[in-house]
Chains A and B, each alone.
Chain A
Amino acid sequence: AQSVAQPEDQVNVAEGNPLTVKCTYSVSGNPYLFWYVQYPNRGLQFLLKYITGDNLVKGSYGFEAEFNKSQTSFHLKKPSALVSDSALYFCAVRDMGANYGQNFVFGPGTRLSVLP
């Protein structure tokens, strides 16, 4: 079975400070990992993905994420937060070795608030 945990419901950070949104996953094989962002009354927007290769993945809007296989984590980071980054962030995983009876599993979401 595959699962995703986002241990923090809410993250508050001051504008200009670095931000981290945490994600841990569980799969039986190798993971596809994704981050999405959702603004109010909107669908999800793709930020970045990890499939293979470098553990540090760069994505849209200055976001990056670090894949850590030993800790089964894929934390989202940004060096300097903007007020406009305030939104709901979702981590998602799919087991590369899974059969087609499984699809992406999304975490519960973390609400990021960047305070001016």
Chain B
Amino acid sequence: SQTIHQWPATLVQPVGSPLSLECTVEGTSNPNLYWYRQAAGRGLQLLFYSVGIGQISSEVPQNLSASRPQDRQFILSSKKLLLSDSGFYLCAWSISVWTYEQYFGPGTRLTVT
């Protein structure tokens, strides 16, 4: 069966510090991978998605970046965090055979202070 991991689970970082969040998927090959952010009490904002190694599509211009160095690994980064980067970061995967149903990881809660 497939599983998706995210770490860390919780992170508190000062403004201006760098960020690296990691997501890995097990039990499947060549998944589509997605990064979402959810501000407190709000909906989901799609940040990046990837359909293959090295292929990244950016949905929102901002100080974040994403990389996919391996088939089942997706990394979200920032060189300098802003207060507005606080939120709940969710990674998801899908296999586009019949649907784009997405399966979500447990999330990383980021607080920028």
> Are these two chains actual partners, yes or no?
no
